[in-house]
Structure 1
């Protein structure tokens, strides 16, 4: 038999494959082929084991000297078929192989962060999982200061329907630190609209019910808690040290009580405006400079008190417990 005949016979004996090599992650010297749906990724078992405890344990198991018929191989490499999406697996593997692809403290799109978090949790890759949590916490942070700065500081850009996407990811990957801020943002949207979105959550029905209940109850607690500390400056006994206009400021505040309290109790618009514009409230009321500063400080302090209670409104542990639970320190605020 000629060499050409032998080569032809060997090729015909190669079992057919039902997958195509990835155009993003395929190393010719790799030792293992990971298959997700119809896409294959050829990688190195040693590198996977160095990052993921699940793969480390898997590859530490003794392998037979001669693969049996049940062992699938491709070009001499072990084939592992995974129940992951090809896109998620691509993002995860590129994050392992290319440090610049998923760097700490650098902007990353949500699908990349979510993929790394999902598979980092599934395959026990603690460093990558924590990096993903850190990035998510810049979008929905633990501190009020970080919340106020998130428009310019968040490292995961906003996208449509992100609130429900964050909730789904938090439930799936067992993180809770981002949920209070997510629920806080959702509480500022019309309730019927957000409830409709919660009913589309891709989670178990019992979990969906728990989320809906936690949100509705927490939203009610939040809206009940906000007005009193926010509008404390309208109380007759509210101290205004250093007031420059005396009775003039007092009269303006008394007039404001009669004008804005009915509006605040019926529509909640005024107290929300105060929360959003603490530095403008005193000026809008015609108060002296000293009283303007006092009112702004009072509103800001009221916001801080409500924020400290925020996790509890939604049935979650306090901020310190959430911070420790999900590996977040003050440097991540």
Structure 2
């Protein structure tokens, strides 16, 4: 390398006698990165434009090894695509309450874009959550690729995963037996469980996901006067444990290590 000749003055591109260094990044992303280096990054989740901003910061901070900006971007993304059950509940609550922005529902970006960004930047902590919410979309819709969130111009390219939520639907409640301390006779609690399962199955909202559906089931049962106290408490304990179990196993379902190791690798916790 030291034997290579230096470029002649005629070969050097200059502007106002200053040497030009050509960058091949997207101008808007490079501009945002430079501003973030000097003024700090400001991450929000008010519209899909905010996702584009954090995506650009994450992409270039990864490329140029700017560790502090990369960690900030990952932490921000993990608030929307969480790594904890509490974070999941908060995200779904926002999705239910937040009004559409520019015709797009919260969180305004399609999970496919999130997954592609994670792949580009080698971020794994947001992958299980993004895949979980992606599983709520019918495969036929993904194949058509005509969802409004997929029509927005973005460097990410969608892939085609399959659904994986069916096993968490009302079946775990429909066949539930009364608690050993049940205070009702004539199988009243068991019949109440069956009625509740059928009613919730008819009102199933795929957009909120099966883990949130379990919360709805607990809330519905708590208001059912036909179910005795011991059965109601046992049901809440069992469903709470099931939610925690499903969430803790989610990374393994998609072929990743556990949440603790993902946090240590991507967020330095």
TM class by shorter-chain length? 0.7 to 0.9
- Work out whether residues 283 and 292 of structure 1, in 8 Å CA contact, stay in contact via their aligned partners in 2: no
Q: Distance in 2 between matches of 1:153 and 1:127?
A: 28
Aligned length: 242
Matches within 5 A, 1:1-333: 68-99=9-40, 102-103=41-42, 107=44, 109-150=50-91, 158-197=106-145, 212=160, 215-216=161-162, 219-220=163-164, 222-224=165-167, 230-231=172-173, 234-236=175-177, 239=179, 241=181, 243=182, 245-247=183-185, 250-254=187-191, 256-257=193-194, 260=197, 269=204, 272=210, 274-277=213-216, 278-284=218-224, 286-329=226-269
1:282 shift after superposition: 4.3
- Work out whether residues 88 and 119 of structure 1, in 8 Å CA contact, stay in contact via their aligned partners in 2: yes
1:293 shift after superposition: 3.0
Q: Distance in 2 between matches of 1:225 and 1:282?
A: 20
1:136 shift after superposition: 0.5
Q: Distance in 1 between matches of 2:180 and 2:213?
A: 18
Q: Which residue of 2 aligns with 1:17?
A: none
Give the SS at the match of 1:302: helix
Q: Distance in 2 between matches of 1:152 and 1:77?
A: 53
1:94 shift after superposition: 0.6
Q: Distance in 1 between matches of 2:244 and 2:51?
A: 29
**Gaps in structure 1 of 5+ consecutive residues:** 1-62
1:162 shift after superposition: 2.7
Question: Could you give the per-residue CA deviations for residues 124-179 of structure 1, whole angstroms, max 9, x where no partner exists?
Answer: 1111111111111111010111111135789xx94544312211211111111101
Query: Greater strand percent: which structure?
Result: 1
1:86 shift after superposition: 0.9
Question: Could you give the per-residue CA deviations for residues 256-288 of structure 1, whole angstroms, max 9, x where no partner exists?
Answer: 448847996xx8949948514122224347213
* Superposition RMSD in Å: 3.7
- Work out whether residues 117 and 156 of structure 2, in 8 Å CA contact, stay in contact via their aligned partners in 1: no
**Gaps in structure 2 of 5+ consecutive residues:** 96-104
Higher RCO, 1 vs 2 (CA within 8 Å, ≥6 residues apart):
2
Q: Distance in 2 between matches of 1:165 and 1:79?
A: 34
Q: Distance in 2 between matches of 1:235 and 1:152?
A: 28
- Work out whether residues 134 and 328 of structure 1, in 8 Å CA contact, stay in contact via their aligned partners in 2: no
Q: 1:197 to 1:308 in 2, by over 3 A?
A: farther
1:325 shift after superposition: 2.2
Give the SS at the match of 2:9: coil
Q: 1:259 to 1:320 in 2, by over 3 A?
A: closer
- Work out whether residues 142 and 319 of structure 1, in 8 Å CA contact, stay in contact via their aligned partners in 2: yes
Larger Rg: 1
Q: 1:144 to 1:258 in 2, by over 3 A?
A: closer
Question: Could you give the per-residue CA deviations for residues 87-134 of structure 1, whole angstroms, max 9, x where no partner exists?
Answer: 1111111101112xx15xx53621221111011111111111111111
Taking structure 1 as the reference length, the TM-score comes to 0.61
Q: 1:303 to 1:246 in 2, by over 3 A?
A: same
1:290 shift after superposition: 4.1
